[in-house]
Amino acid sequence: MNRTMHRTLVALLLLAIGLTTQIFAERPNIVWIIPDDMSANFSCYGETAVATPNVDKLAARGVKFTNAYVTAPVCSTCRSAFITGMYQTSIGTQHHRSGRGTAKIHLPKGIKLVPKLFQEAGYHTSITGWPMNRRLGKTDYNFEWNQSVYDGNDWSKRKKGQPFFAQIQTPGGKLRGKDAGGWEKISSAAEKKLGSRTSIDVVKLPPYYPKHPDIVRDWAAYLDSVRMTDVMVGEVVARLEKEGVRDNTLVLFMTDHGISHARGKQFMYDEGLHVPLVIAGPGIQAGTVRDDVVEHIDIAALSLAAAGISVPRTMQARNILAADYVAREAVFAARDRCDETVDHMRSVRTQDFKYIRNFLPNRPYLQPCAYKDAKAILIALREWRRAGKLNDVQQLLFRDVRPPEELYDVTNDPHEINNLANSPAHAGKLKELRGRLDAWMIETDDKGRAPESTEMYDSDMAVYIKTLKRKNDPAHLKVLENNIALMRKWAAEGK
């Protein structure tokens, strides 16, 4: 190789390196912060019992969505949806913690995970908890997937100048545990970190929960988990600032569903479906507030678009930040089996009304569920019910059967207490939303229209049983086995 050719190659190499660095520098980083089991109990969303300065600051320099809803009120189905930008019902992942045994679930042909799309575009991808450790963060997907879609657990391991897509998955509301031991742990942590714990005196419960001492204390502990989550958000932003990348990073804050409570997680009411969604970063107008209804899967499309990556045509998520975005008229959600408890619900919500369809109306509202029934708050509710201490509204959850349809005027009845499905004055609205839901189920190929196969149910229950045996938890195991037997009995009876 002569000197001229060598110099030419060196020049071309340096030019390539320079162009690559320039491309990296022009592409924003994307960071998702997603806590578990938490509703929109933040100051910027109107919560007055606690202060959440870091989430508030994020909202002040970005956009806050006041009507963001998950498409599934439970972890794995919700996460399977947002990581693909698809309705869980369209990709066959609608049953919570499914595909965990010998019977597996595979994504439909052509569906790629969001981190894979980022990788293919040259991004470093990571997923972690907070503070970061060596393990990958929570995924909880119901389908088979390859861990290679994540390059690691920390964006610091990327190449120099390489843009990154990072997910920070944190416990959120799970920090409060299920009983007094967990409540004390999170409240003590808040007191140590912030100088105080949330007083039970500031707790304001929704009207459908009684002021049982355990329920009030649990809610106070939950608010402390909100405060500690806010601290974590501040720490993430502080790290981005320290590394000099904050201004070129799109930071997205959202929870995976609402508070884990009797009428929240696993249910189709707003307590289970309504989540905070705050986005700040390049191209976002500071102090923006949007009240149009959006779905949690939309974070897939908007993140790809922000990075200049083409959004797959098959993806059902929408880029809600696009200049030409046309606001949705309605959002949809589905609840199917959760652990051992078989259920089948669908809902459609506009800004003003919520329609819920109960496909198994002959089952009680609070079906047996080993996971939820072990919580002190559920034990407290049942205790006061036996003692006759619940009012008519608080008794609603203990009905032995459900109405096939529920309709709520969420503007005037935000707690969704007065079912208008049989109201002549609302017959037109009922027909409209019923039709919307029917059309959505057909258009999106709702896999839940057919019952879960016995093979899949038995496969997943075998894993659940094996896990409890390994944990040497005979009491919990007995409850689970009884519940499984009851689910099979009810199914055989057509209930």
* Averaged pLDDT, 241-270: 98
**What pLDDT does 322 receive?**
98
CA gap 428, 451 in Å, rounded: 30
* Averaged pLDDT, 275-295: 98
Q: What percent of the chain has pLDDT over 90?
A: 94
Residue 7 pLDDT > 60, yes or no?
A: no
Q: Is residue 206 part of a domain?
A: yes
- Mean pLDDT across the chain: 95
Q: Is residue 21 part of a domain?
A: no
CA gap 203, 47 in Å, rounded: 10
- How far are the Cα atoms of 25, 178, 329 from residue 376, in angstroms, in the given order? 51, 6, 39
Please name every residue paired with 332 in a beta bridge, in sequence order, or none if there are none: 348
User: Which pLDDT band, with edges at 50, 70 and 90, does 132 fall under?
Assistant: confident
**What pLDDT does 201 receive?**
98
Quote the domain boundaries for residue 34.
Answer: 29-326
CA gap 441, 450 in Å, rounded: 12
Cα torsion 225, 38, 42, 318: sign:
positive
The model's pLDDT over 179-195, given as tens digits with 9 standing for 90+, comes to 999 999 999 999 999 99
* Averaged pLDDT, 236-263: 98
The single-letter code of the amino acid at 287 is G
- Flag the least confident range among 9-18, 90-99, 317-326: 9-18
Q: Is residue 134 part of a domain?
A: yes
Token readout for 273 is: 């479906």
* Averaged pLDDT, 102-109: 98
Q: Is residue 48 part of a domain?
A: yes
Instruction: Go through the chain and tell me how many residues it has.
Output: 495
The single-letter code of the amino acid at 200 is I
Q: Is residue 139 part of a domain?
A: yes
Residue 19 pLDDT > 50, yes or no?
A: no
**What pLDDT does 3 receive?**
52
Residue 447 neighbours by CB distance under 10 Å: 20
Q: Residue 297 sits in a domain of what CATH number?
A: 3.40.720.10
Q: Is residue 428 part of a domain?
A: no
Domain count, the chain: 1
Cβ contacts of residue 210 below 8 Å, gap of 6+? 381, 384, 389, 390, 391, 394
* Averaged pLDDT, 345-349: 98
Q: Strand order in 353-358's β-sheet?
A: 331-335, 345-349, 353-358, 405-409
Residue 18 pLDDT > 50, yes or no?
A: no
Q: Is residue 397 part of a domain?
A: no
The model's pLDDT over 434-479, given as tens digits with 9 standing for 90+, comes to 999 999 999 999 999 999 999 999 999 999 999 999 999 999 999 9
* Averaged pLDDT, 1-6: 50
Residue 168 pLDDT > 90, yes or no?
A: yes
Residue 396 pLDDT > 80, yes or no?
A: yes
In three state form, how does the secondary structure of 81-128 look?
Answer: HHCCCCCCCCCCCCCCCCCCCCCCCCCCCCCCCHHHHHHHCCCEEEEE
In the block, tokens 């609603």 appear at 396
Token readout for 461 is: 């229950």
- C-alpha closest to that of 481 among 467, 495, 72, 324: 467
- Flag the least confident range among 23-32, 93-102, 458-467: 23-32
* Averaged pLDDT, 25-39: 94
* Averaged pLDDT, 299-304: 98
Q: Is residue 436 part of a domain?
A: no
